[in-house]
Amino acid sequence: MNQGTIAVSTSPATASGVAAVCASLEQAAFVTTTFPADGIGGRAMEAAILAGAFMGVLDFTLAELACDRLGLPGGAGPDRLTAAAIRGIPQVIVPGGLDGMLTPKIADALAKEIAEKACAARGPTAIVLPRIDADDAVMTAFADSLQVWLYGVELVELPFKLDEPEFAVRAAAVLLRLLGRPSS
């Protein structure tokens, strides 16, 4: 296993946050490898995690899960978001890349799927949520569903929007804590 490499999922919609995550992790002496959340990238990331290439995962972009659920191109299949859980390595899950893709009903079902996969993890796992506006019915349904289905998984709610640099820095700090490393 590479003792200093972290896998990070990305997309054009989450690129600025992912850049801040990678900068934070690299400042803490980790190497980051990004994978596009386009179906192919998600499958490649899961395979590399299973092969032991990473010591942690910051899954910042979950668009592939939504694509699978909606039957759209770009899905990565049913094993997406399972490799870190199987390997028992620290992982942080962020609902990036879901904007505009979901209805409240789909958001509820997707949150249940994510919670089930996170709860099956053998290693430390946290889900980090951005600030949710009161009128955002989709993300409210997502967060409410996570509250119902999560057990044994840390849920961190931050007072920042997903595209704010401080959100990404704090998400990286959660992963550093799970890795047993202080953030700078």
**Predicted TM-score (pTM) of this structure:** 0.95
pLDDT in tens, 65-111: 999 999 999 999 999 999 999 999 999 999 999 887 899 999 999 99
Delimit the domains of the chain by residue range: 5-178
pLDDT band at 3 (very low <50, low <70, confident <90, very high): low
E strand map for 17-72: 31-36, 56-61
DSSP state of 51: T
Question: What is the C-alpha radius of gyration for the chain, rounded to an integer number of angstroms?
Answer: 15
Which residues, 6 or more positions from 131, have their beta carbon under 8 angstroms from its beta carbon? 157, 158, 159, 160, 161
The 10s digit of each residue's pLDDT in 27-55 is 999 999 999 999 999 999 999 999 999 99
The helix (H) or strand (E) run that includes residue 92 is: strand 91-96
As a CATH number, domain 5-178 is: 3.40.50.12030
